[in-house]
Amino acid sequence: MLVVRELISAEQIRHGVAQLAADINHYYRQRPLTLLGVMTGSLVLVADVIRQLEIPVRVGVIQARSYRGGATTPGELAVRDGYLPDVQGRHVLVMDDIYDTGRTLAGLYEYLRPLKPASLRSAVLLRKQGRQQVPLEPDYVVFDIPDVFVVGYGLDYQDQYRHLAYVAALEPQDFQQFQE
């Protein structure tokens, strides 16, 4: 059985998500918003945020993957937009679970800009310190974390741990269990 080290408690997440929703409400001030959740890690965050929004909101999803299988470092970005609503002329907020190198967010901005949204902003639950490879920064960051591999609150390792109500770090020895 794996022992994971809790980094951010469920209570801290509740408070952080409430503040994020308040900030979004304040910024958009009754302007209609299209919120795009980046599959699959952001689903828990998106669900918790939209229940606290007091603005007109339309929800869509887009899949952007750079981690595959047992990988713990990002690879080439693949985008799937089968559930992407029309964003032309709409205020769009891209919501993702983690900002690591920044390549996923930059790639999504590159993909979405030609679709002509009225505005394009981003929100992430976690920003991993010291890993950024692009100048683009998220507009909203709930928590900054050290450079560790994290799971929980929607984040996974080989489709495990998404269900945790908190964010935890997997230690290097934890990965060995999946290789045996």
Active site residues: 100
Strands 119-128 and 91-99: parallel
Instruction: Determine how β-strand 78-80 pairs with β-strand 57-65.
Output: antiparallel
- CA atoms within 13 A of residue 117's CA, in its CB half-sphere: 24
Contact 164, 125 (CB under 8 A): no
Asked if 2 and 149 touch (Cβ cutoff 8 Å), the reply is: no
Cα–Cα distance for residue pair 69/155, rounded to 1 Å: 13
* 3-state SS assignment for residue 170: strand
